[in-house]
Amino acid sequence: MPEKQDITSLKALKAAEAACTRCPLYRNATQVVPGEGPARAPIMMVGEQPGDREDLAGKPFVGPAGRILDEAIADAGLDRAKVFITNAVKHFKFQMRGKRRLHKRPNAYEIDQCRHWFALERALVKPKIIVAMGATAVRGVTGKSLTIARSRGKLLPLEDGGRMIVTIHPSYLLRIRNTDPDWRAQYRLFVRDLKLCKRA
């Protein structure tokens, strides 16, 4: 596997990720979905893994959860063009239900194997703040599990001198939109978390 010194650009990283066989997820995915954004973005937002739309497009957060994220970024007063968006796991993990490919949560082994790529991505982009959206993202960033409820809404120090904000994944808002009459309050809390980036 390529080492840090062998990869000096996001383009080279994308090519290396496309050849990855570190875990079995590459076998069934359409393609790798690398991170996307400016090479020196001050903010990096990390999701769980690509979904069905992302797997087909080869780009992160282009489906329904991506639309919610874009709206929340704008409502938080952040410039989407200055944010690097990626996932803790770079290949789509799914199970078939009829003809549909349904999201399946990555396990600890898959997340940990993909930390190799996330570490390289982070070293290239050098973000000041990382927004970890959901438990998988938190493990991808830190290598350990943290309770979202306990960690949410704070600026947490990272070992390399950066800082992390823990929040929910926007797909959670999608899931509750039709069942929770107060889902907009949850959306506002998500925006509040993103506003921490601006204050920091």
Residue 20 lies in a domain: yes
Q: For the chain, what percent of residues have pLDDT higher than 90?
A: 87
Lowest-confidence region among 47-51, 58-62, 128-132, 181-185: 181-185
pLDDT of the residue at 161: 87
- Residue 39 pLDDT > 60, yes or no? yes
pLDDT of the residue at 141: 96
pLDDT of the residue at 178: 84
What are the tens digits of pLDDT across the range 78-105? 999 999 999 999 999 999 999 999 989 9
Residue 74 lies in a domain: yes
Q: Number of structural domains, the chain?
A: 1
Residue 4 lies in a domain: no
| Residues spanned by the domain of 126 | 9-199
Residue 34 lies in a domain: yes
Q: Are 86 and 35 in contact (CB under 8 A)?
A: yes
Residue 179 lies in a domain: yes
What's the whole-number mean pLDDT along residues 45-57?
Answer: 97
- Residue 4 pLDDT > 70, yes or no? no
Residue 2 lies in a domain: no
Q: What is the CATH number of the domain that holds 195?
A: 3.40.470.10
What are the tens digits of pLDDT across the range 123-172? 999 999 999 999 999 999 999 988 899 999 899 999 888 999 999 999 99
pTM of the predicted structure, to 2 decimals: 0.94
Residue 3 lies in a domain: no
On average, the pLDDT of the chain sits at 94
pLDDT of the residue at 22: 96
pLDDT of the residue at 200: 78
Residue 98 lies in a domain: yes
pLDDT of the residue at 5: 57
